[in-house]
Amino acid sequence: MSLDKQIAALQADLNAAHYVTYLTGAGVSTPSHIPDYRSKNGIYNGISESPEQILSEDTLFHEPAKFHQFVMENMYFPNAQPNIIHKKIAASCNKNGILITQNVDGLDKKAGNKHVIEFHGNLYNIFCTKCYERISYDEYKKSYFHEKDNGIIRPGIVLYGEPINEDILINSIKNIQNSDLVIIAGTSFVVYPFAQLLAYKKPNAKVWVINNTIVPAPEEVSTIISDAEKVFDKLYI
């Protein structure tokens, strides 16, 4: 099937849907010039370390300088703006749907999406791990120690090895169970437990995957191999 025909079929499913769940990942934010931090290694004293090692509680508390440097260099892009994908998904969710995103950049909320579940948290929910006071990005940028009590400051994102908040998990499952259409975009869908959410869909729910590389998915899933930006640009919402 040609790309135009695939987009037309997706449009028809979207028009017929009562409630849509979107599942998104890093590929949705790369057109906003936010690189996928999972593809970045940190280099300290000439030694390269994986993001899984650095983005852990162990590094946060025992090597806070390393943690801070990694997030500041590879994850915070405060001037980034939402792109057409964020905007179209926001319009769709505000009408009749929900977005469950792995992204922690806050761009969906910036796009005006009022129905967002930030599955892995938000980089700009910054707080002190000692007194739990909220800290601004500008303050965190300057120092990872809270001036008041010397507590270590962290972003409210789920680190490797940390569990997903239970309320978020339950809320995500409820929404998937309510949906007659699931649209997965910009994610290779390999991060657990995010990838398992699809197991809770209605048996007859339609599922679409939009990604620029092939994603491991069950047979009944319709796949569009293309840049999500190109596809969303053509959708009427």
Q: Name the residues annotated as catalytic.
A: 120
157-196 residues near Zn ion, rule: CB under 5 A: none
Find the shortest distance in angstroms from Cβ 152 to Zn ion.
9
Taking a C-beta distance cutoff of 8 angstroms, is the pair 209, 222 a contact?
yes
Helices assigned H by DSSP within the chain: 3-16, 51-54, 57-62, 64-74, 84-96, 107-110, 137-142, 166-178, 228-234
Rounded alpha-carbon distances, angstroms, from residue 37 to 70, 87, 122, 195: 9, 22, 14, 18
Of all residues in the shown chain, the one whose CB is closest to Zn ion is 128
Judged by beta carbon, residue 149 or residue 233, the one nearer Zn ion is 149
Find the shortest distance in angstroms from Cβ 63 to Zn ion.
19
Find the shortest distance in angstroms from Cβ 120 to Zn ion.
23
Find the shortest distance in angstroms from Cβ 78 to Zn ion.
22
Judged by beta carbon, residue 19 or residue 61, the one nearer Zn ion is 61
Find the shortest distance in angstroms from Cβ 64 to Zn ion.
14
- Gap between the Cα atoms of 75 and 34, Å rounded: 8
Taking a C-beta distance cutoff of 8 angstroms, is the pair 86, 110 a contact?
yes
133-162 residues near Zn ion, rule: CB under 5 A: 146, 149, 151
Judged by beta carbon, residue 2 or residue 150, the one nearer Zn ion is 150
Judged by beta carbon, residue 73 or residue 149, the one nearer Zn ion is 149
Judged by beta carbon, residue 9 or residue 152, the one nearer Zn ion is 152
Residue in 67, 51, 53, 218 with CA at minimum distance from that of residue 129: 67
- Residue 230 CA to chain centroid, in angstroms? 19
Q: Residues 26, 30, 36, 42: what is their CA dihedral angle, to the nearest 10 degrees?
A: -160
113-132 residues near Zn ion, rule: CB under 5 A: 128, 130-131
62-121 residues near Zn ion, rule: CB under 5 A: none
- Gap between the Cα atoms of 125 and 121, Å rounded: 8
3-state helix, strand, coil in the chain (%, to 5): 40, 20, 40
Binding site for Zn ion (CB under 5 A): 128, 130-131, 146, 149, 151
